Amino acid sequence: MSRNSKFSNPHAITLIERYQPIWAVSKAMELSGWDLETFMPPKGSFARGNMTGQLTALIQKMYTDPHLLDLLDRLQESQDLTLYEKGLARVMRRETKIYTKVPAKLMQELSELTTRASLNWRAAREKNNYEIFKSDLGKIIELTRDMADHLGYEVHPYNALLDLHEEGFTVQDADVMFGELRDPLKVILEKAATERDSPLALETYDQGGMKMAEIELLTKLGYDFTRFREDTSAHPFTVGISIDDVRITTRRKGYDFKDTLFSVLHEGGHALYELQIDPELEFTPLSGGASMGIHESQSRFMENMIGRSREFARGSFGILSKYLPFLKNYSEEEIYSYFNHVKPGLIRVEADEVSYNFHIMIRYEVEKQLIGGQAQVSDLPELWSELYEKYLGVRPNDFSDGVLQDIHWSGGSFGYFPSYTIGNVVAAQIRYHAMRDIPDMYAKVSDLDLDELKQWLKEKVHVWGATYTPKELMMRSFGEGYQPKYLINYLREKYL
């Protein structure tokens, strides 16, 4: 690692040196995770599981090294830290927190439990039998509540879990955010929903052709394939191995091409964040996003605010219709309404941008009650159905389309779901501010010219990495905290 201008405090410099093996092992794990999802032959999974276990133990050992923790104490006690040094101390403290506050035995127990629970969740989903997963889920909730106790919290144990994903975000913040969204979104949803699917959803495509269209589109949007790549996996994701090695995946089912198109734009938004972080933050704990919610705002912005715009439908037509020749039989208006078809349904990952937030609201309410002890796992299917009926007017007929649809809980991930709605809220906020600063932003989208917008996103959000807390970043760049009104206004304008 080369010296740079951002860190001059001797403790900061030593801490970053000490961080290098942690960085290397963490990135090796991410690379191994990417390989597992993309190219690993199926029988490699047993050995890969062992490898991951060993690397996780190694990371835990490195993060609890007394020398490292001592350096961190001394850095935090130092006077006159720069903005970056303060960020370094803050992020390192957060990274070490889970290892220093939660007993290793509890972490080990949780890890073994979730490995088993993931298998049982898969079986339960396939067999549509909640009973297969129920007792594991109950135990996961119990251990997660223990973990929250060790992490510490004020007011509600769920706050400890929210903070793991969205620093400083509380039940109170979430109640306000969802409370402001609930009624206005319900009105928009009722008016915008249409039963009929677009015939475009049934058009089949050649998967090789679709891939060429994606590559041409990404290239046109300025993605540099010497620093970036795209592959396929069962569930799309993004991984940043380094600032010059960022990878996305997508999936192609052979029909309903918007599924693939928008997953590419979504992951492309995540990737752009990673690609535009200040290179001087590379090899430090600051070279990642500010939070899950802020990261998600970048993907939602690219997917929804750019990708689902009329201008994008127009601008992308040339490239898309070259590889998807059936598009020539449809008008721009038909393509635009296919991109923006609103229909309340049971499945979160298939939801449109209006109903999506209700899926998250439901999960938030359920998680809060489970962690707070107001609901038990045996109440869950009924609670789930009631909330779906109340918010989306649909009721699942089986568990697989209901409580068993998401992978999150089987992996012990509680407090993560709200970041999706934070992402939508912040994306709309960014859209508002971007349009004020770049009045011809959408005109340029119709030429697929994102250069100025990307530079703007870089300055406002990306370049900082995790230097600021998410709330500080919002204040610094937009002069306000999370503001749901922009999302309501954007959806109103678009759908009413």
Q: Which residues bind Mg ion (CB under 5 A)?
A: 299
In whole angstroms, how close is the CB of 295 to Mg ion at the nearest point?
A: 7
In whole angstroms, how close is the CB of 428 to Mg ion at the nearest point?
A: 16
Q: Return the number of the residue (217 or 248) whose C-beta is nearest Mg ion.
A: 248
In whole angstroms, how close is the CB of 363 to Mg ion at the nearest point?
A: 15
In whole angstroms, how close is the CB of 212 to Mg ion at the nearest point?
A: 24
Q: Residue of minimal CB distance from Mg ion?
A: 299
Q: Return the number of the residue (236 or 315) whose C-beta is nearest Mg ion.
A: 236
* Nearest alpha carbon to residue 161 among 176, 181, 141: 141
Q: Is 389 a catalytic residue?
A: no
In whole angstroms, how close is the CB of 422 to Mg ion at the nearest point?
A: 12
- Residue 314 CA to residue 339 CA, distance in Å, equals 12
- Residue 138 CA to residue 366 CA, distance in Å, equals 13
In the sheet that holds 245-250, the strands lie side by side as 228-232, 245-250, 238-242
Q: Return the number of the residue (169 or 323) whose C-beta is nearest Mg ion.
A: 169
The residue assigned the tokens 């038990």 is: 376
In whole angstroms, how close is the CB of 250 to Mg ion at the nearest point?
A: 12
Q: Return the number of the residue (299 or 400) whose C-beta is nearest Mg ion.
A: 299
From 267, 296, 365, 367, the catalytic residue: 267
Which structure tokens are listed for 257?
């091409």
In whole angstroms, how close is the CB of 299 to Mg ion at the nearest point?
A: 4
Residues 6+ apart with CB under 8 A from 463: 276, 277, 278
Q: Return the number of the residue (273 or 399) whose C-beta is nearest Mg ion.
A: 273
Identify whether the C-beta of residue 284 lies closer than 8 Å to the C-beta of residue 19. Answer: yes
Q: Return the number of the residue (342 or 427) whose C-beta is nearest Mg ion.
A: 427
The residue assigned the tokens 């223990």 is: 146
Q: Return the number of the residue (14 or 38) whose C-beta is nearest Mg ion.
A: 38
In whole angstroms, how close is the CB of 296 to Mg ion at the nearest point?
A: 5
Q: Return the number of the residue (198 or 299) whose C-beta is nearest Mg ion.
A: 299
The residue assigned the tokens 């127009």 is: 314
In whole angstroms, how close is the CB of 151 to Mg ion at the nearest point?
A: 24
- Residue 45 CA to residue 47 CA, distance in Å, equals 6
Point out the residues that are catalytic: 267
